[in-house]
Structures are given as C-alpha cells and as structure tokens.
Amino acid sequence: MVQQGRPEQVPVTIENDTDSKAIQEDSEVAQKGSSETGPTTVRDEQPVKERHKGKKQQLGMSSLSKKGIRVLLGREFEMKDLGAAKKILGKEIRRDMSYKRLWLSQKSYIQKVLEKFDMADSKPVSTPLVSHFRVSADQFPKSDDEIRDMAQVPYASAVRCLMYAMVCTRPDLAQAVSEVSKYMSNPGRDHWNDVKWILRYLKGTAEYGLRFGDLKCVAVLGYVDSDYAGDLDNRRYTTGYVFTLAEGPVSWRSVLQDVVAMSTMEAEYMAMGEAAKEALWVQGLVAELSVERGGVLLHGDSQSAMYLAKNQVYRARTKHIQVTYHKIRELVASGDILLEKVHTSENTADMLTKPVTEEMFKHYLDLLNVFPC
C-alpha cells in the first residue's frame, strides 16, 4: 500500500559527534528526496536508518571513546561504572601503567580454600608433587573400614577447588591436579595425602600469579613436551603444553594421551599434534583481538618428532600413528606452526608432564613469569 505525504520521522540515538553528523547528512538527503519525488512508499522509510547503521559499522569502535562506550552500555543496561576492575570471580587484578604490566592472582581465594580444609597452619613445601609419590589405582581403599573412612574425606571438593585455581592463574598446578583428579571416584588415603601436599604447596605460594608485560612481545610462543610412560596404571604418556603472549602464559594443559605410544618419538609427536590444535585456537583468539600475528612458534625438545612433522614421507615404523595426529604436518607446511628445538632445561612444558626437582621447578616458573604478585 502507498502512503501519501511526508515520511514518518525515524527516532535515532546520537552516540557521538561523528555519528551525529552522519545522521544529519542522512536526514537532509531524505528530506530533499521527499520534496523532489513527492509520494513516498513504505520502502522509502528505511534508507535513513539503514545508511546510518552502515556508517556506524564502517566507523567501528575505534571512533568511540571509553566514555562513549560506557554511555552506550548505560543506555542499554542497568550498570554502574566502578572504574578499572580489581577483582572478578576470585581473580585479583593489579596494574602498573608506568611499566605497562599486569598481574593476575588468587591470593584471597587460596586462603579461603586452605581454611576450608584446615590447612591454613600447615607447613609449606616447595613443589606441588615430588618424584617419590607413586600415584596409582593400587592405592584405592581395599577394606570396608577404609571405604567408610574415605567417605568422610572431602576429596572431590578439594580437587575441584584446586582445579579452579589451576585453570585461572596457576599453571604450576596443572600436572599435580591432573594426577589426583584421576581418582575422584574412589580415592584412597594415599591419594588424599597427595592432595594435602598440594595444599601445603599453595600455603607457601598463595601470592603467586601471572605477570604480563608490554605488548611489544605480541608473538604467540608455545612449548610442548611428553614424559616417559609416567602413568603407572596403563603406562600411557602425559602431554604437556603451554602458550604465552605478552610475556605471560595464556593457555596450558597437562593430560594423559589417548593411546599407549610405542616409542618416545611417537609420544612427542602425538603431544605436538595436541599442541597444534590448541595453537590454532590461540591464533584465532589473537586475530579477534586485532593483534598483529604470524605463525605460532612451537618449541620442543625432540628432534626426531620435529623431523617427522616436517618430512611427510611414509615410514613403516610410523604407519600405525592415528591420522588425527598428522594434522601438524599440514600446519607446518602452511606456516601456521613453526617448530624450533630447545634444550629440555629451557622447555617450560617439562614441569607439566612429571614432577621435577625444586631447582628446575623454580627455573620454569621464572621462564613463565609466574611470580609473587
């Protein structure tokens, strides 16, 4: 149906001076067009709003100041401006704008966890786990008395609390939490002692957290490693990797491999395959942040695994490796992944695969910028 007369006025919210000028120009064009062409159809009512929307998309968020963004959000949602965030979901944020640094920690959360499990006055230790701890399924409770005794122990609750700290700000807990979380369904007394050891470690390192530096170092760096059949239950290897950005870790993991590897080279190759998938996700995240990026530099300490990833030649000794792990060959060929050999002492992922000595553990923390905040 055709409507006669002047077009209906379209209400438009003015975001800033640039948008105001854009809307004013569109209004003038619309009014001029209506006076020259006469009757206006329903379809003619939309150009002002549509052209304004298009110009807003071209301008992007760069044309809006921080104050303007807060004003826009305030018009859409009920909110208060409390300034820069200092704490969110148990994570404490500290900034030093003069040196362009940022710290993330969970000191208050860790203190509450220690108090919850009566470990606030425990004696601190220097590492999350030690090599003489032989965690296995053989430590399951074997008698009815042991089962009743462990039923009173808050094992699952403690592991969940440790897992939240590990996921948010504590990559140094990854390997230890991965070990104790395997026995949540039927933990034994030795398993509980391992959890208490981790809590004692947190007692001495409650102030530890992540430190991020200047964005001059915008390259994504990755480190990957594998242990040697460390799982006592089925002799599977453990994959560990960590990725850093702006001098601080942004992604880390310690996990058992899906299948039993038949050699250390195969285990390292499978670990690289898992790390490559995470590298793709980190690349996508960095791209969304509009940070200039190139290929992800992935460091490892296995020269043979790197040769296998770079050289796509059929070999009888590697034909049994699952196809999914060969994805890294494609990524290396395209330049999305750049492999580089490092010594084991400089491979920070080593502490994510097995317990290491106190000296090496502190060295890896320094490399990852995990410091008291």
- Beta-carbon count within 10 A of 244 CB: 24
Residue 28: predicted pLDDT: 47
Domain ranges in the chain are: 17-72, 107-204, 215-372
Q: Check pLDDT > 60 for residue 90.
A: yes
Q: Check pLDDT > 90 for residue 358.
A: yes
Residue 287: predicted pLDDT: 84
Q: Check pLDDT > 90 for residue 70.
A: no
What residues contact 152, with CB distance under 8 A and at least 6 apart?
none
What residues contact 148, with CB distance under 8 A and at least 6 apart?
none
Name which of 279, 274, 310 is nearest 294 in CA terms: 279
Whether 237 contacts 343, CB under 8 Å: no
What are 194-220's pLDDT values in tens digits? 999 999 999 999 999 999 987 666 788
Average pLDDT over residues 154-178: 96
Spatial strand order in the sheet of 238-245: 248-256, 238-245, 221-226, 296-300, 337-341
Q: Is 245 exposed, middle or buried (0-12, 13-18, 19+ CB in 10 A)?
A: buried
Amino acid at 304: S
pLDDT band per the 50, 70, 90 thresholds, residue 64: low
Report the Cα–Cα distance between both ends of the chain, in Å, rounded.
68
Average pLDDT over residues 70-89: 86
Average pLDDT over residues 279-307: 87
Whether 208 contacts 166, CB under 8 Å: no
Q: Check pLDDT > 60 for residue 48.
A: no
CATH architecture observed for domain 215-372: 2-Layer Sandwich (3.30)
Residue 217: predicted pLDDT: 65
- In degrees and rounded to multiples of 5, residue 255 shows phi and psi of -150, 150
Nearest-10 crossing angle of helices 17-37, 47-59: 150
Residue 24: predicted pLDDT: 45
Residue 316: predicted pLDDT: 66
Q: Rounded to two decimals, what is the model's pTM?
A: 0.77
What are 236-279's pLDDT values in tens digits? 999 999 999 988 999 999 999 988 888 898 999 999 999 999 99
Name which of 257, 268, 355, 338 is nearest 303 in CA terms: 268
Residue 49: predicted pLDDT: 44
What are 314-354's pLDDT values in tens digits? 676 677 777 778 888 889 988 999 999 999 999 999 999 99
Residue 43: predicted pLDDT: 39
Task: Tell me, rounded to whole angstroms, the distance of Cα 228 from its chain centroid.
Answer: 26
